[in-house]
Structure 1
């Protein structure tokens, strides 16, 4: 009786632990909106770093202006697409 109860308990705990709906380790599929939000955060972090490094004297004026314009254009594109997806 003791072995049968142990086996049933083991099977029940195994099923509970690895049942797909209850498994905390499964990842939900990332949506386009999730990707864009992560990319937006990365671009904003890059802009902050660029500004810091420019103020520290690591970038000449021309390179700073070019990089800043590229990052701002990318940020504008990303934020616009996020707005469109959130409205839909």
Structure 2
């Protein structure tokens, strides 16, 4: 009798723990603005990493200036597009 009760309790506990309460695989669709925000965050992180590596002596001056300019231009384009989308 005790073994049956333990088995039922175990099955009920496992069902409670692992039974999905809602569809965990459904995600809301990302908008263009969500994508741009994520991209902006990634670019800012890349700029921080670039500055750190430059100060550590891993980048020559010319490469640092070129890479920084490219990242800043991309960030400016993303910010401009975000402003356009937020106004609409």
TM-score normalized by structure 1? 0.73
* Residue in structure 1 matched with residue 33 of structure 2 by the alignment: 33
Partner of 2:69, secondary structure, is helix
CA RMSD after TM alignment: 1.4
* Count of aligned pairs: 69
Rounded Cα–Cα distance in structure 1 between residues aligned with 2:24 and 2:54: 43
Rounded Cα–Cα distance in structure 2 between residues aligned with 1:84 and 1:34: 14
After the TM superposition, list the runs of 4 or more consecutive aligned residues in structure 1 that deviate by more than 2 angstroms. 22-25
| Structure 1: runs of 5 or more not aligned | 1-16
Rounded Cα–Cα distance in structure 2 between residues aligned with 1:25 and 1:41: 25
* Residue in structure 1 matched with residue 47 of structure 2 by the alignment: 47
TM-score normalized by structure 2? 0.73
| Structure 2: runs of 5 or more not aligned | 1-19
Rounded Cα–Cα distance in structure 2 between residues aligned with 1:24 and 1:79: 32
